[in-house]
Amino acid sequence: MSKPTLVSGIQPTGKLHIGNYLGALKNFIQLQNDYECYYFIATYHSLTAGHDPKTKRDLIFNVALDYLAAGIDPSKVALFNQADAPECTELAWIFNCLTPIAELERMTQFKDKSAKNAKNINIGLLDYPVLQAADILIYRAEKVPVGEDQVQHVELTRNIARWFNNTYGQYFKQPEPILTKAKRIMSIIDPTKKMSKSYGDNHCIYLTDEPDVILNKIKKAPTGTGTEGTPTHGAANLLMLLEEFGATEEAAIFKKDIKNKTIKYSKLKTVLAKTISNYFADFRKKRKELEKNPDYIWNILKQGAEKARPIAERTMREVKEKIGIL
């Protein structure tokens, strides 16, 4: 029996952080054996934020390195650059003609990004979730592993599939998001905000950060214990990370110490920094190796696009037939 299909992407806008890892990439790796996976670098989506043509290729290369060093196996999945499988933009146009503008205007990410960048509210930013729906549906995905912030876009994708089916007859399945337990990781220095590179480097721990950098960032995290012997947001955030990276026994001891008010937060921070550094030690090593061989990386992306394109082309042919333009 053929495996169910799964699709997800990450934008080439900078280094991946532990929020991207715990919320999305970790699932990509775990799920690659059980699904037919299409993982891509969302280059076209990233253009909505404005970009420097001199650095884009480098950003694409770096996300590819992150995917591969973290354990994505190109022999099992199609790993590719969205720009090498451009049929998604064609499907997005067809979806554009079925999607009410008001549905896009109410998207949380659109509202946040346009508030942050009032000088560059381009059509791409508004249309972003329609292209995302095309990415997902062109490969006929059933599942979409993402962090919590992307769930609204997957819901819109389900609506677009429904609008298409209602208009032209049953064709697309309605895909569902897959979330990790840690679906929303908070910033290290401001635990009221989601960890995001758009807030700045000090908010994020990058997968490439060396042990001393990780420790210095964690040292700046706010901590504290409430009067009831409960951890503050900042302290709870650090404990959660400790558990997520596998140090559950240590986390249980620190929790007891917090309750008894005997906790030494400096110790919690050192243990957490060491836990994260060790967790990504192999990643850092593998990434440095892969980085030495750019041709190998670009070749993997090209081969990934070759796997993906026949599926995308077939969907486009069937869609065009269905809507009566072929």
Residues near ligand ADP (CB under 6 A) are 10-11, 13, 19-20, 23-24, 146-147, 149-150, 183-185, 194-198
Give dist(CA 83, CA 74) in Å, integer: 18
- Closest CB to ligand ADP among 11 and 275? 11
CB of residue 154 vs ligand ADP: minimum separation in angstroms? 10
Confirm whether 292 is a catalytic residue: no
Min separation Cβ 8 and ligand TRP, Å: 4
Is 197 a catalytic site residue?
A: yes
Instruction: Examine residue 91 and tell whether it contacts ligand TRP (CB under 6 A).
Output: no
Three-point CA angle 86, 89, 92, nearest 5°: 150
- Least Å distance, CB 147 to ligand TRP, is 7
- By CB under 6 A, is residue 27 in contact with ligand TRP? no
Distance CA 171, CA 93 (A): 17
Q: Are strands 36-41 and 78-81 parallel, antiparallel or unpaired?
A: parallel
The alpha carbon of residue 75 and the mean position of all alpha carbons in its chain are separated, in whole angstroms, by 21
261 is catalytic: no
Residue nearest to ligand ADP (CB): 23
Stated as kind and residue range, the H or E segment containing 297 is helix 294-322
Beta bridge partners of 144: 177
Question: Which CA distances in Å does 121 have to 49, 50, 74, 129?
Answer: 9, 10, 36, 14
Which residue type is seen at 292? K
Distance CA 96, CA 321 (A): 18
Check binding of 132 to ligand TRP (CB under 6 A).
yes
Catalytic residue selected from 15, 56, 173, 197: 197
Catalytic residue among 183, 194, 217, 269: 194
- 197: partner contacted, choices ligand TRP, ligand ADP, none (Cβ within 5-8 A by kind): ligand ADP
Q: Is 15 exposed, middle or buried (0-12, 13-18, 19+ CB in 10 A)?
A: middle
Cα separation values, 140 from 158, 219, 311, Å: 12, 45, 9
- 196: partner contacted, choices ligand TRP, ligand ADP, none (Cβ within 5-8 A by kind): ligand ADP
- Smallest distance, ligand TRP to C-beta of residue 88, A: 8
Is 64 a binding residue for ligand TRP by CB under 6 A? The answer is no
Residue 68 near which of ligand TRP, ligand ADP, none (CB within 5-8 Å, type-dependent):
none
The window from 28-36, 115-123, 146-154, 269-277 that contacts ligand TRP (CB under 6 A) reads 146-154
**Closest separation between CB of residue 97 and ligand ADP, Å?**
27
When asked if residue 45 is in the footprint of ligand TRP (CB under 6 A), the reply is yes
State the amino acid at position 297 in one-letter form: I
Question: Dihedral of the CA atoms 165, 167, 169, 171 (nearest 10)?
Answer: -30
Report the distance separating Cα 281 and Cα 99, nearest Å.
Answer: 45
Task: Write down the least CB distance from residue 167 to ligand ADP, Å.
Answer: 29
**Residue 146 is a binding residue for ligand TRP (CB under 6 A):** yes
* Interaction site with ligand TRP (CB under 6 A): 7-11, 42, 45, 132, 135-136, 144, 146, 150, 153
What is the set of active-site residues? 113, 194, 197
